[in-house]
Structure 1
Amino acid sequence: MATAEHYGAKDLAVLEGLDAVRKRPGMYIGTTDSQGLMHCLWEIIDNAVDEALAGFCDDIVVTLHTDGSITVADNGRGIPVDVEPKTKLTGVEVVMTKLHAGAKFGNSSYNAVGGLHGVGSSVVNALSARLDVEVDRGGKTYHMAFHQGHPGVYQDGTAEDGTPLRSPDHPFKRTRKNRPTELEVIGTVPARRTGTRVRYWLDPEIFNQTARFSYEQLVDRVRQTSFLVPGLKITVVDENVDSAPADGTAEAVPQGAQETAVESDSAVDEGSVVADGAFGEQPEHPRVATFRHTGGVKDFVDYLSHGEPICDIWRIQGEATYEEETQAVGENGELHARNVTRTCGVDIALRWVNGYDTVMRSFVNIIETPGGGMHVDGLMNAVTRQVRKAVEANARKLKVNLKDAGTRIERDDIMAGLVAVVTVRIAEPQFQGQTKDVLGTAQVKPIVTKMADRQFGEMISGAKRGYKEQSGRVLEKIVGEMHARIQSRKAKEVTRRKNALESASMPAKLSDCQPGNDDVAELFIVEGDSALGTAKAARNAGFQALLPIRGKILNVQKASITQMLGNKECAAIIQVVGAGSGASFDIEQSRYHKIIMMTDADVDGAHIRILLLTLFYRYMRPLIEHGYVYAAVPPLHRIALTGPRKGQYLYTYSDDELADRLAELDAQGIGYADDIQRYKGLGEMDADQLADTTMNPRTRMLRRIRMEDAEQAAGIFDLLMGDDVPPRKAFIVDNADDFDRSKIDT
């Protein structure tokens, strides 16, 4: 360690070339764990995608090899192979070994790109145990190899078919300084064929032992890119997975995938190809996955949408120019300031769905900006202004009191249920921070705002042909969200557990439990007043509350949020639970830790449970996610035993179980009354029977509702009870042969 007295120039370390990258990899890829490992792959893929954005590439293949290496191949122009005048090195060596080198600093080759710093390929090269580049140009195939960023020659063998057997473990001879490059011609190709193939083995000396490659992240990123670059086909080949399942059957292509402009490579065996579409599900680990979408961000929004759409997908598109001062590279490599005219391309797709979750994805070129930025701010400023204007123009129809200052539409009301993809394409975007999370180019904001003001304004006002009915539904949903927010705010001002003096604020029909048992409090939602009387006598008032409902509640799958809040039964349930609704729901404020649906064991009871479950799923989803929602399982029959066991009863829950139990009793010689009681409803039970079978925690049976149960119920309910008749008819016809009486919940 140098002391203060002896500290001099000799103590300064100078790292040349790519040595600085290997010394401080975190400066270039963030971390040396799994995140950094995936970052390297994005750098190579983005270089290929930049060729597609420039209009020179329409096919990219990413191959995961069994030896841990990865190849990214494209049919772009190919990295230049001629000599760069200043460095006297070939273009391949310049790109792969020089930081901040490439065509993206000038204005001739690329306009809107993902990689701007010119460090992607060289950084991956520096952090790789081995990297090989093959370039097809001018009728020839060129090859060059690198070890930890340094060019040289590997002593590779060849397979029986003549292909080279490449490995980072083979002997390597490094090219000496100031010697000719090791770029070599290894074959010939048709004159018109161009492209680049990069294969690399990441260096275990750089990445820690916890670093793991994520196939799922790769598939998500590739799918995302295929949406953002319409017409670009990207294929992922995983050589670590067999081409077909163990039983020899082929993976099924999702229904409708081919109709959504998704193509597969005809050179690959059809059985091993899994095509992806805006409506298709991607299997976990297919042998080959191909992605190609022609609808752009419209397909992307369709893919991201979950729930019943309120409107069609609305599109905002256009181009505008702006002036910007930038540093230009002169002929001799010097930098000088100059004003340039930039073009900003805007492409936005959005829709509202019947829910309260917001899905907002934003991009600059192909770079995702999870923190938003100027493009998102510009859009939301315009959307908020135009929605408020439309609500004011339709205040009477929407039942909005403009004189009440508290009924002002806020951005959160608009965001509920919104699914949007915001993209802009500009040259040399500015970001806030190295991670590129937020777009900082200020000139983009007024362009997006002006464009959205005009185009979205025509849609939401209904002035554009075909949008009047859709805009009405959207405005109704947004106003409903506003009322829900106001109601939730008021509810939070009330204490969690009402005391005796405040009990009048709760629905009169609520039979609440005693305060002080919050952690074990249960709410039974009881079907009908007749069952309520029995339930009151059967319950433990210390921790069991009762809320009766009259028959079937509102079908919230088809109703708007305003209609839901206006329904007495739905409003009472939300008020009694006490945690709000929609996006403002707070599970910590729930007054009960068990919400138990207690309905009759018949078709009507099952229907009511589905209606209740859909209400919870749509507006109080955390209750299901935290396991607070249950269905009581009342018995269907009561068997009265006779003889020595007179006074004992057995309960069964289905016709099949009854038949089996009676057969058991006959086989064991146990007598029973011929008059088997069949319960038509909960009201037919006396208090002791209801307590033993349905309410007493020691003897009852409950069915916990899981998240997948809620999703399935909502989907099936939408199918069977929704507005669209053809899907319902198709479902009935397709499943008629599979009818199973045991599946009927009666």
Structure 2
Amino acid sequence: MSKLYDESSVRVLKGLEPVKERPGMYTRTTDPTHICQEVIDNAADEALAGFAKKIEVTLHHDGSLTVADDGRGIPVGLHPDEHVPVVELVFTRLHAGGKFNKKDGGAYSFSGGLHGVGVSVTNALSTRLEVEVMREAKVHRLVFSGGDVIEPLAEIGTCGQKRSGTKVRVWPDAKYFESAKVSIHELERLLRAKAVLLPGTTVTLNQEKADGTIEAKNWTYPEGLKGYLAELCMDSELIVPIFADERFCGRPAEGDAFAEGEGASWAVAWTNESGGGESYVNLIPTALGGTHEAGLRTGLFEALRDFIDHHNLLPRNVKLQAEDVWSRVRYVLSAKVLDPQFQGQTKEKLNSREALKLVASVVRLPFEVWLNQHVEEGKKLAELAIAQAMSRLRSVKKVERRKSSGIAVLPGKLTDCGSEDTERNELFLVEGDSAGGSAKLARDKEYQAILPLRGKVLNSLETPREQLFANREIADISASIGVDPHDVTEPDSVLSGLRYGKIIILSDADVDGSHIQVLLLTLFYRHFPKLIAAGHIYIAKPPLYRIDTASQGKGRPARKFYALDEAEREHILERLTDEGVREDHISVGRFKGLGEMNADQLKETTMSTDTRRLYKVSIVDGAEHDTRQLMSMLMGKGEASGRREWMERRGNEVEADI
């Protein structure tokens, strides 16, 4: 490896080069379906804005795909600042698009596109891409190869004054994908969903066969989400009729939390089978769910709980949980959120904390009304939820909290939870007494326990087992979780006394916090390996920054965002700038540690199951040997030279807040 590191060593990736260099950062690389979806989503955004009534997708025999819509057509004139045709800019420039400006007068109020990245990624990862635009009685054409223009924008014909739209044909480049073929199943599911979510829009899929014939499929759902869910539940027995409704916010008054047009539509059914469903945000499918699904669950639970309380249906000593109501629910949810925050460019999970409150608030009241209008059906749902709760209570493993002998007495500084449901219970190992105090106020007393740790835990990689309990912190951790130190070769019965299904490391979002994480992970890896193998160890990710914006007037209430790190902070600030939020209306605060966060902030960002970010600790299959070597090198007392060599070789990969 060359040790030369000078000014010439720094490489600047320009244009679409970052996408070609690291395609996995921008799209899913198992197959080209997602880059094709980006084009479909643009057509769907035109329909969502009310300008397109037809979306036609053609899968050609040569593997290419065409998406055509009858929307407004991408503008073809020169951009006032860049002096490049706008249609060319959209397909060749990252973070160029018409969906940043959400204020009055913007091209799109609600859209799945957010970052101006989608179709430029499609272009970069395609051997060829052709664009035809019908607009203002003219037809224009533009052709790219590998993201570069090979046929400049040119007028190729005329069309009727009232005709408009965009047609894009994509030839995905196979070298960027594990499989070169678009997934027909996923494509059909996506297009069917667009038809469900866009009333009045005709969605068509044409499949071109080898003999030149076309097999066409059309989707339409006159009943919208309700009809779609009925189709999904055809083979299931419904306990009550499908509950379907929609609610969207009107023009907000001063101080209202949500903007005009935000809200959700949904269809919900209860069956005798396990639940599940589909969710969307601004027509984008969220396969991994997110905060909007949590909002639907919360709204349904709170409404049914109030119904049960009002009719005095709950037996004594039975406490309902949201999962008792949710476990048999089949659902389709479509949320409209003004400024959604997704997890990654593939947008498979919604992270916007405001979406939970939004969906919960619009769902709860209509469901309360429905229950009171359908009392018998409401009582059936109440019986189902109560039966689930009683079944859960019967299956709970009883844990003896204290033994009279005093041998297993729990640490005095442990703030325990009330539930005896080991699988649901959580123990937070919190850095510092002050943070532990906030965590105690932020927790759910029913199932979340807090163990504050004073200082840094002993580096226990090479500590003999018989000397472990000389360290008070380690002794407290072992007593709290109910598991003694053990080897990976010991039977699973060593976990028989486990008191918490999740053991969560909660430390500051800085270098010291990372050090504490590593020390605790070393302890669990070396002396409690079965906890990691069984998936009981987690790391909580508290934010480093809070960003507040003042009210922007009509339809734009004050907002707050949380950023895990510098990169996420910069991304949020860029987005706000692109939306036209003035700099003096943006306030950025940095948390120096967990102790600076009040209980509400800690709950909202780190402890609430609906809005927190939690990462499970696991060892990749087949990587046990490499993991053992790495841990020995990083934490071994006699490995200083190895650590130095590793830092010299890999130091450039470190992302640290120093």
TM-score (norm 1): 0.50
Question: Structure 2 matches for 1:109-188, cutoff 5 A?
Answer: 109-153=107-151, 182-188=152-158
**Does 2:222 correspond to 1:294?**
yes
Alpha-carbon displacement from aligned partner over 1:315-352 (angstroms, at most 9, x marks no partner): 3422237999xxxxxxxxxxxxxx99554122122121
Question: Structure 2 matches for 1:182-221, cutoff 5 A?
Answer: 182-208=152-178, 210-221=179-190
Within 2, Cα distance between the matches of 1:432 and 1:203? 25
Question: Do 2:264 and 2:335's aligned partners in 1 also have CA atoms closer than 8 Å?
Answer: yes
Q: Which amino acid aligns with 2:177?
A: F
Q: Secondary structure at the match of 1:104?
A: coil
Cα 1:119–1:366 shift into 2, 3 Å: same
Alpha-carbon displacement from aligned partner over 1:372-423 (angstroms, at most 9, x marks no partner): 333222232232223223223444xx6x532xx2x22233321233112222
Alpha-carbon displacement from aligned partner over 1:414-451 (angstroms, at most 9, x marks no partner): 12331122221122211244443332323333333233
Shift of 1:102: 1.1
Alpha-carbon displacement from aligned partner over 1:86-111 (angstroms, at most 9, x marks no partner): 11111111111111111111231001
* 1:360 corresponds to: 277
Question: Structure 2 matches for 1:590-601, cutoff 5 A?
Answer: none
Question: Structure 2 matches for 1:38-437, cutoff 5 A?
Answer: 38-107=33-102, 108-153=106-151, 182-208=152-178, 210-240=179-209, 287-305=215-233, 306-320=235-249, 341=259, 343-353=261-271, 355-395=272-312, 400-402=314-316, 405=317, 407-437=318-348
Identity %: 36
Q: Which amino acid aligns with 1:480?
A: A
Q: Which amino acid aligns with 2:107?
A: S
Q: Which amino acid aligns with 1:96?
A: F
Cα 1:366–1:241 shift into 2, 3 Å: farther
Shift of 1:59: 0.4
* 1:440 corresponds to: 351
Question: Do 1:2 and 1:11's aligned partners in 2 also have CA atoms closer than 8 Å?
Answer: no
Alpha-carbon displacement from aligned partner over 1:453-511 (angstroms, at most 9, x marks no partner): 32211222x2x2xx123222222333333344445558999xxxxxxxxxxxxxxxxxx
Alpha-carbon displacement from aligned partner over 1:66-93 (angstroms, at most 9, x marks no partner): 1221111111111111111211111111
Q: Secondary structure at the match of 2:107?
A: coil
Shift of 1:42: 0.6
Q: Secondary structure at the match of 1:20?
A: helix
Cα 1:322–1:10 shift into 2, 3 Å: farther
Shift of 1:134: 0.6
Within 2, Cα distance between the matches of 1:423 and 1:470? 24
Alpha-carbon displacement from aligned partner over 1:629-668 (angstroms, at most 9, x marks no partner): xxxxxxxxxxxxxxxxxxxxxxxxxxxxxxxxxxxxxxxx
Q: Secondary structure at the match of 1:83?
A: coil
Alpha-carbon displacement from aligned partner over 1:214-241 (angstroms, at most 9, x marks no partner): 1111111111111111221111100126
Shift of 1:300: 2.5
Question: Do 1:316 and 1:451's aligned partners in 2 also have CA atoms closer than 8 Å?
Answer: no
Cα 1:432–1:66 shift into 2, 3 Å: closer
Q: Which amino acid aligns with 2:383?
A: E
Cα 1:20–1:312 shift into 2, 3 Å: same
Question: Do 1:298 and 1:315's aligned partners in 2 also have CA atoms closer than 8 Å?
Answer: yes
Cα 1:487–1:228 shift into 2, 3 Å: same
Within 1, Cα distance between the matches of 2:116 and 2:398? 55
Within 2, Cα distance between the matches of 1:94 and 1:362? 32
Question: Do 1:232 and 1:293's aligned partners in 2 also have CA atoms closer than 8 Å?
Answer: no
Within 1, Cα distance between the matches of 2:359 and 2:182? 37
Q: Secondary structure at the match of 1:89?
A: coil
Q: 1:478 aligns with which of 356, 362, 385?
A: 385
* 2:617 corresponds to: none
Within 1, Cα distance between the matches of 2:75 and 2:367? 45
Q: Secondary structure at the match of 1:77?
A: coil
Cα 1:189–1:322 shift into 2, 3 Å: closer
Within 2, Cα distance between the matches of 1:492 and 1:8? 62
Shift of 1:195: 0.7
Question: Do 1:347 and 1:423's aligned partners in 2 also have CA atoms closer than 8 Å?
Answer: yes
Cα 1:371–1:207 shift into 2, 3 Å: closer
Comparing 483-492 with 221-230, greater Cα deviation is found at: 483-492
Within 2, Cα distance between the matches of 1:474 and 1:341? 33
**CA RMSD of the aligned region, Å?**
2.8
Q: Which amino acid aligns with 2:62?
A: D
Q: Secondary structure at the match of 1:85?
A: coil
* 1:9 corresponds to: 7
Q: Which amino acid aligns with 2:184?
A: Y
TM-score (norm 2): 0.56
Shift of 1:41: 0.8
Q: Secondary structure at the match of 2:169?
A: strand
Q: Which amino acid aligns with 2:34?
A: H
Alpha-carbon displacement from aligned partner over 1:557-590 (angstroms, at most 9, x marks no partner): xxxxxxxxxxxxxxxxxxxxxxxxxxxxxxxxxx
Within 2, Cα distance between the matches of 1:415 and 1:442? 20
* 2:521 corresponds to: none
Question: Structure 2 matches for 1:604-619, cutoff 5 A?
Answer: none
Within 2, Cα distance between the matches of 1:454 and 1:15? 51
Q: Which amino acid aligns with 2:351?
A: G
Cα 1:374–1:241 shift into 2, 3 Å: same
Q: Which amino acid aligns with 2:228?
A: F
Within 2, Cα distance between the matches of 1:242 and 1:211? 21
Question: Do 1:83 and 1:91's aligned partners in 2 also have CA atoms closer than 8 Å?
Answer: yes
Question: Structure 2 matches for 1:447-486, cutoff 5 A?
Answer: 447-460=358-371, 462=372, 464=373, 467-486=374-393
Q: Secondary structure at the match of 1:356?
A: coil
Q: Which amino acid aligns with 2:99?
A: K
Which has the larger Rg? 1
* 1:572 corresponds to: none
Within 1, Cα distance between the matches of 2:258 and 2:302? 32
* 2:488 corresponds to: none
Within 1, Cα distance between the matches of 2:48 and 2:41? 10
Within 2, Cα distance between the matches of 1:340 and 1:459? 24
Within 1, Cα distance between the matches of 2:376 and 2:205? 42
Question: Do 1:139 and 1:190's aligned partners in 2 also have CA atoms closer than 8 Å?
Answer: yes
Shift of 1:202: 1.3
Within 1, Cα distance between the matches of 2:387 and 2:109? 44
Cα 1:147–1:100 shift into 2, 3 Å: same
